């Protein structure tokens, strides 16, 4: 099929008739157990019905144009982030490796920071003494 030719499909009640033929045909195949070669017969009946409708019923088919792809929209880039010397919000290197109260391992992403220089143990809730605080 060339690019100039348009594809045609059944429209309106004729499309419903085509669907009904399939549903009734499948029901008969399941009821009687004639799956092979019954499905081939159903495909042939469906194709003959569609060809007959398109040839002899003037308004049974409508032209279908392929959907045109929408133009891609380009989102604007976010403004660049100024390069500044990023200081960590919390001094992770000053945390102890274990909790002095319960002995649980301390990890910077698990502790509950209660202030800029104050953290609590995630296991027992004890305040952790930061190393090197004045």
pTM of the model: 0.38
pLDDT in tens, 51-100: 777 777 766 666 656 556 676 777 777 787 776 555 557 777 888 888 88
CA distance linking residue 90 with residue 134, whole number of Å:
16
pLDDT in tens, 101-128: 888 888 878 888 888 778 888 889 888 8
- Residue 55 pLDDT: 74
Q: What is the DSSP letter of 77?
A: P
Domain ranges of the chain: 7-64, 92-134
């Amino acid at each position: 099929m060339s690019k100039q030719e348009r594809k045609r499909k059944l429209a309106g009640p004729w499309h419903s008739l085509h669907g009904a033929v399939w549903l009734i045909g499948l029901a008969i195949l399941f009821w009687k157990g004639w799956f092979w070669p019954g499905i081939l017969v159903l495909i042939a009946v469906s194709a003959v019905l569609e060809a007959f409708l398109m040839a002899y019923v003037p308004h049974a088919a409508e032209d279908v144009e392929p959907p045109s792809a929408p133009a891609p929209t380009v989102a604007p880039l976010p403004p660049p982030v100024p390069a500044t010397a990023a200081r960590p919000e919390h001094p992770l290197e000053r945390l102890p490796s274990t909790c002095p109260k319960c002995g649980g391992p301390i990890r910077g992403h698990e502790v509950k920071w209660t202030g800029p220089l104050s953290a609590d143990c995630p296991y027992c809730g004890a305040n952790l003494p930061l190393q090197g605080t004045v």
